[in-house]
Amino acid sequence: MEQHEIEQLVAAQPKMRSMDQRFYTDEEIYRVEMEKIFMRSWLYAGHISEIPRVGDWFLYELDGESVIIIRAAEDKVNALVNVCRHRGSRLCLEHKGRSKRLTCLYHGWTYDMEGQLRAAAHMGDDFDKSNIRLRRVQCEVLAGMIYINFAEDAASLQPTIDDLGACLEPYDLRNAKVAHRQSYPMAANWKLAVENYCECYHCAPAHPEYSRGHALADPDQKHAEAYERVHQQAITCGLSQRQADKNYADAPGFGTCYTYERYPLVRGHLTGSKDGQPVAPLLGTIKDYFGGCTDFQVGPVTFALAYCDYVVIYAFKPLSHGRSDCDITWLVRGDAEAGKDYDHDRLVWLWDVTTEADKRIIERNAEGVNSRFYEPGPLSFMEAFTWEFLSWYQDALRA
């Protein structure tokens, strides 16, 4: 499909309706999405606690690209492209490891943690190593969360780091640790997974476990009074006074949207768990449970939900035009010990059961969207945020 055909398809898309089938099935649209969205957006790669020591690294992979995320110094993380500058071999083959030198197994070219070539045998006397470095991609750390961007001229993440970072300060996520991380691969186009995350219209029918404790599942609970009460209690508990709302539509640069918004839990619930009771020690400097939780977002495909005792980060990514992955990270206080301060299964239960349900819903949705008989349908007011995502997406394709 040519660019002008994509533009026509976008122009023909009515507002507040699900999208034309071709957005989900056309391989060329998928290629355009890769270049225009994923190669230019800030993407969540992992948490700083996954590379605690200098030399620790792990790989981030997307669309055939592989990036080595390495702790180069106490306060420095580098994102080095996993392609040797000799003849292009992958250097790191494992998913993670630890080494202050990165050696390509093909011909032994060896690089330091800055990506500078340090050793290459039998290259002759006039061979100059000094100007050979691994390619890098941009890498920033926001409250301990490592984000990368493949574009050299990417919009800066700094305004997000400053603003959202200040909102997140009381959670002290840079000193948190990963209690669990799990991939939920799905047989569905990535947009169906993000569309589903962006709305809670499906929560009441599909997520009884979530709906028991979270007010978003029921629009009638959206009373201003409950929001205001929870907001005031949050401030009393030491959380940020301000909230942030740079939605898809008003992001300062391409794909740099971010949000930070609180909402109430159902009365009697302190956190997201089976019985609403705490599952881990209070995070950071938070003084007490305030009766709510906080959604936040960084860039177009990373979302998170912060409770007072844990945070779940949702990072979506395409695996192909018909497959995607939802990578979930559970963060707890850095000094919390499994089995003593928190029970792993109790901690993970809600968002595992909810995501397994989402995976089923999204895969069924994908089957229907791929049907000969699929036609776009009208969205509910409860899907307004899904529409924001879709309109941003359509603009991004045209950009």
By CB under 5 A, name the binding residues for Fe ion.
Answer: 358
Taking the complex as a whole, the smallest distance from the CB of residue 357 to Fe ion amounts, in Å, to: 6
Contacts of 207-213 spanning 24+ positions with Cβ under 8 A: 207/354, 207/357, 207/358, 209/274, 209/350, 209/353, 209/354, 210/272, 210/350, 210/354, 212/266, 212/269, 212/276, 213/265, 213/266, 213/269, 213/272, 213/273, 213/276
Q: 278 vs 150, 181, 239, 367, 392, CA distance in Å?
A: 39, 20, 17, 38, 37
- CB nearer to Fe ion: pick between 210 and 296: 210
With beta carbons less than 8 A apart as the criterion, state whether 325 and 317 touch: yes
CA angle 122, 65, 176 (to 5 degrees): 105
CB of 365 to Fe ion, least distance (A): 11
Residue 89: closest CA among 70, 110, 69: 110
Report in angstroms how near the CB of residue 352 gets to Fe ion at its nearest: 12
Torsion of CA 135, 76, 100, 133, to 10 degrees: 20
26 or 209, CB closer to Fe ion? 209
137 or 186: whose CB is closer to Fe ion?
Answer: 186
Determine the Cα–Cα distance for residues 148 and 138; give it in Å rounded to an integer.
5
Quick one: 132 or 193, whose CB is closer to Fe ion?
Answer: 193
Q: At 93, list the tokens.
A: 């083959």
Min. distance of Cβ 369 from Fe ion in angstroms? 17
Of 52 and 208, which CB lies nearer to Fe ion in the complex structure?
A: 208
- Strand 138-142 and strand 145-149: pairing? antiparallel
Buried b (16+ CB within 10 A) or exposed e, 251-289: beebbbbbbbebbbbbeebbbbbeebebbbbbbbebeeb
Residues in the chain: 399
Smaller CB separation from Fe ion, 157 or 362? 362
**Sign of CA pseudo-dihedral 200, 203, 204, 208:** negative
* Residue placing its CB nearer to Fe ion in the complex, 82 or 297: 297
Query: CB of 197: closest distance to Fe ion in angstroms?
Result: 7
Write the DSSP assignment of 1-64 as a string of letters: --HHHHHHHHHT--TTBPPPTHHHH-HHHHHHHIIIIITTS-EEEEEGGGS-STTEEEEEEETT
**Residue nearer to Fe ion on the CB measure, 168 or 326:** 326
- Least Cβ distance, residue 315 to Fe ion (angstroms): 16
Closest distance of CB 202 from Fe ion, Å:
6
H or E stretch at 317: strand 311-320
| Nearer of residues 51 and 390 to Fe ion, judged by Cβ | 390
Q: Which is nearer to Fe ion, 195 or 358 (CB)?
A: 358
